[in-house]
A = this chain, B = another copy of it.
Amino acid sequence: MELNPWTSKGVSDYEHVFKEFGLSEFPEEWRHSLKHRLFERNIIIAHRDFEPVMKRIQEKKPFINMTGIASSGPLHLGHKADIDLFLFFKSLGAHNYFCIADIDGYTSREKIATMDDAKKIAADNLAHALALGLDEKDVYVQSQMDSRYYEFVFELSKKITNNMFEAVYGHVDLGKVSAAILQYADILHPQLKEWSGKMPSVTGIGLDQDPHARLTRDIAKRLPYPLEMPSFIYFRHQSGLTEESKMSSSAPETAIFLGDSEKDVKKKISSAFTGGRETVELQKKLGGNPDICKVCEILRFHYPDTKEVERIMADCRAGKRMCGETKQFTIEFLNKFLKEHQVKVEKNRKKAEKIVYGKK
């Protein structure tokens, strides 16, 4: 199975993937001790070597909490889940590194024509992230990093043979190679003495990003620095709103963006793929299928009250609740959230621009 982060459209056969790539299912016990919907609802489904971080959490010792956003387009609900996870780990006492990956966004995406374009996206992304609760003290922007970071990026590059790279990604252009190397550095640099020093670290990623994770760990072993192997936890695949799609900032119709208007949301949710039957009568008789429903998926991923989500799914399955009702409920939930969120975004735009454009 190909798990190329630049082309993969999604992963359905999880067990098969876990086995092939040596991931472990996220254990029930940890899911319950980590009090957050992403764990409780099994949205974080797998891990690679998370034990050292879990131990740190249990002992109330610090660990490195590292994630980031490539500046490739506007933020959508999938990014909100990444940020929620980051904020949760922060609340557990982590050292926090949130990367605004503007260079990565530029070099890896054909459609981003210039670094200026990437920075505009970066500033918009960051305004949204700050509105979601991110603290500016926990943020860094790739294009604003100092020479030590870049020295490390190049130190990394020496440890990668063509064979290692091609075995994982196949043949890729240098822009994508650059983006990948920056990602390895983003994940590993917090363990250098100039930052937090050697310490277990965790980064939440999509299953399709696992090739980056494996190469990052391979490289960590080869570097002349004391480093813990970085740990990764994996999000369940969040699919797009249409029948066969991944939620993607490159395809507006597949995702709810954090900047969407009430009208956008209404339109997208109304026409989203559900697990409903052909007629109301059939649905009352047979029940709906919330497992394949994109609207229910949004609630499972994002609605804060777990009991309410369970009730909705159960009613749907029992034929007591029609798709229209669930759609209306979801539209109202999203629009209430987005309205408040967007007010905060506007308040954070200037701060975000200042951070992205720095002192220059």
User: CA–CA, A315 to B95, complex, Å?
Assistant: 75
Write the chain B residue with the least CB distance to A182.
B154
> Would you give the shortest CB distance from A219 to chain B, in whole angstroms?
10
User: CA–CA, A172 to B166, complex, Å?
Assistant: 12
Any B CB within 8 A of the CB of A278 = no
Any B CB within 8 A of the CB of A106 = yes
Any B CB within 8 A of the CB of A135 = no
Write the chain B residue with the least CB distance to A119.
B151
Q: Mark A171-211, 1 if CB is under 8 A from B, else 0.
A: 11111011001100000000000000000000000000000
CB pair B154 A107 closer than 8 Å:
yes
> Would you give the shortest CB distance from A359 to chain B, in whole angstroms?
10
Any B CB within 8 A of the CB of A77 = no
Q: Mark A123-155, 1 if CB is under 8 A from B, else 0.
A: 000000000000000000001111110110111
Interface residues in A, total, Cβ within 8 A: 36
CB pair A107 B143 closer than 8 Å:
no
Contact residues of A between 224 and 269, Cβ < 8 Å to B: 224
Which residue of A154, A171, A177, A182 has the most chain B CB atoms within 10 A of its CB atom?
A: A154
CB pair A157 B174 closer than 8 Å:
yes
> Would you give the shortest CB distance from A178 to chain B, in whole angstroms?
4
CB pair A147 B155 closer than 8 Å:
no
Given contacts A160-B174, A162-B174, A174-B181, contact A155 B115 (CB under 8 A): yes
Write the chain B residue with the least CB distance to A141.
B147
Q: Mark A326-360, 1 if CB is under 8 A from B, else 0.
A: 00000000000000000000000000000000101
A-B contact pairs, 5 of them (CB 8 A): A147-B358, A158-B174, A160-B174, A161-B174, A165-B174
A positions within 8 Å CB-CB of B: 103, 106-107, 113-115, 143-148, 150-151, 153-155, 157-162, 165, 171-175, 177-178, 181-182, 224, 358, 360
Beyond the given pairs A154-B178, A177-B177, 17 more chain A to chain B contacts, judged by CB atoms under 8 angstroms and listed by A's residue number, are A103-B151, A103-B154, A106-B155, A107-B154, A107-B155, A107-B157, A115-B155, A143-B147, A144-B147, A145-B147, A146-B146, A157-B174, A158-B178, A160-B173, A161-B174, A162-B174, A174-B177
